[in-house]
Structure 1
């Protein structure tokens, strides 16, 4: 009873503080606006990432959304919560970017897999907007609404974010606002300036497409069953098998239908024979020396790889490699190549 009353009192105090800051912000106090926004910044950024499939685009979207919110603050009448209003602005900003830039892709979206290692003719495709990984640190303080169906980490898993890219913008927004954030269809209709009937129709179509593309067992369920220590062990064994050129150790970790893709390279591999051939021909043979750091992206075990000319010299950032597990084996390997993706993870650009 006392704890409940204390919680209610704290909520009331926080609400009063928000109202005071809102009044000050409307009067032109930028510091008050910052205080309103700051507790919501991470969850808004994660929402923009789900919409856009890129942490860089999410940075741009959130910055633009907060600027729009600041400039439009006088028009906010307080009929909804500040959080709802900010999600409205962030969603509409993201929809503008979706319309301008199109959807993001993975190599499997562009063509069939390769049976053998492609050593020539596998140049990076720079005219494709590629899906990008998301550091788990960005999920801290990212609460779901009471009616949300997806957990926050489930909602950034690679399979889910990749499936979202196959939805039109309005369906993508409706699904995220309803299933991930717990807004009602009526609230979403107001946020997107449409009807409840249109929202329900968009939700039905979106659910059908996502259900077809997302495995029934989420990574979060798999990882919870395995346990953190075992998950880290699998990621470490994967990394060390490549560092040591140990093909047998690698094969022991993989499912029979494993896939390996490396955006921005268009070629990708499916099946244990094709993946093993690629691993032996390229990272185990043509890459002189590897080092790694185990981290986490998209709610999944991840290895940051560094490549060097020899074991004694410096190693430069090479890839953020996200692993998708099925049971205690690796079913998908997605290596996002390039050093630009390391900074959002707080990782150095090189290792000595």
Structure 2
């Protein structure tokens, strides 16, 4: 029997569940397919890395396959999967270092002469391509805005400063919108503990995300499209005067896994003039974490092609078309994650 999932999804799930319990791996894949992307995004928020989220999702689905006989359908399949995923992430968090941003690592540099050596290992907060989390169909603008807020770099970075239980509670209650009783059951704790953890988590997140940074600007807004075009022109033409007109006074430039970063328009411009603009570049648009950004390709001396130089995501000023933050991720693995080819003619 092949149920019509469009006309009767409940019957389809029951059929796939029955077949999966009998050992049909294809039926299991069909059963969990609608949950893969949201589960991966949940793991990303918990862990701060799409690569760690890959591991967590794989472990979650393996545990679900092995434990399918014990799923009694008393809760929704998605809830059961989120329970497994959350506990997998909590265990992985206990085994791996916390993901950090450049500001967490140390103060900004006051000179561009030495940028330091890359800090290797699973240390840095890493971006998530929009193609891996964004809705595949049209959705309500308010819902879309909330989804972007809940995957924005500032939000995910703030989460990494929370203890595991607070991180899990905040995501279950505020992002996935489970009740306190449901979250308590998912985590195997009490409602009082959930409510207490939520209050502490909310306070810490508010402290780390100033109101002006809480939401990334909408994908298209008057003035911002022109700003992005001018940003590309300034970078590719290595025009420091044009770049100066695009940056907010408190602009910053980060570049993990290099520990160095720059704060304030004068130092960001010095870095562009003295280091970045010494090399020809080409930029192509991309999107990650709900932010507008660019795949940046650089041309090394003596070469006739451009090679991946990094993934850049921008945080734009809420009130006027200016750039507040340029977060450049120069890890080759991140470039590949965003689909950057090895060479650009």
User: Scaled by the length of structure 2, what TM-score is found?
Assistant: 0.91
- Determine which of 117, 125, 128 is the counterpart of 1:131: 125
8 Å contact from structure 1 (residues 231, 301) kept in 2: no
1:24 is aligned to 2:19: yes
Give the match for residue 82 of structure 1: 77
Task: State the alpha-carbon separation in 2 of the partners of residues 239 and 149 from structure 1.
Answer: 26
Task: State the alpha-carbon separation in 2 of the partners of residues 251 and 168 from structure 1.
Answer: 40
1:175 is aligned to 2:170: yes
Q: Could you list the runs of 5+ residues in structure 2 that have no partner in the other structure?
A: none
Q: CA deviation at 1:115?
A: 2.2
1:161 is aligned to 2:137: no
Task: State the alpha-carbon separation in 1 of the partners of residues 303 and 233 from structure 2.
Answer: 17
Task: State the alpha-carbon separation in 2 of the partners of residues 314 and 225 from structure 1.
Answer: 32
Instruction: Give the 5 Å matches for 1:251-262.
Output: 251-262=244-255
Give the match for residue 264 of structure 2: 271
Instruction: Give the 5 Å matches for 1:237-256.
Output: 237-256=230-249
8 Å contact from structure 2 (residues 145, 218) kept in 1: no
CA RMSD of aligned residues (A): 2.3
- Determine which of 31, 35, 38 is the counterpart of 1:40: 35
Give the match for residue 334 of structure 1: 327
Q: CA deviation at 1:197?
A: 0.9
Q: CA deviation at 1:12?
A: 7.2
Q: CA deviation at 1:128?
A: 5.9
Give the match for residue 113 of structure 1: 108
Task: State the alpha-carbon separation in 1 of the partners of residues 34 and 219 from structure 2.
Answer: 28
Distance 1:150 1:208, change over 3 A: farther
Task: State the alpha-carbon separation in 2 of the partners of residues 122 and 344 from structure 1.
Answer: 25
Q: CA deviation at 1:140?
A: 3.2
For residues 264-302 of structure 1, give each alpha carbon's deviation from its aligned partner in whole angstroms, at most 9, with x where no partner exists.
1111111111111111110012x2x11111111110011
Give the match for residue 291 of structure 1: 282
Q: CA deviation at 1:11?
A: 7.8
User: Scaled by the length of structure 1, what TM-score is found?
Assistant: 0.89
Distance 1:307 1:38, change over 3 A: same
8 Å contact from structure 1 (residues 154, 219) kept in 2: yes
1:319 is aligned to 2:313: no
Task: State the alpha-carbon separation in 1 of the partners of residues 35 and 11 from structure 2.
Answer: 17
Q: CA deviation at 1:112?
A: 1.3
Q: CA deviation at 1:116?
A: 2.5
Distance 1:140 1:110, change over 3 A: closer
Q: Could you list the runs of 5+ residues in structure 1 that have no partner in the other structure?
A: 1-8
Give the match for residue 300 of structure 1: 291
Distance 1:172 1:56, change over 3 A: same
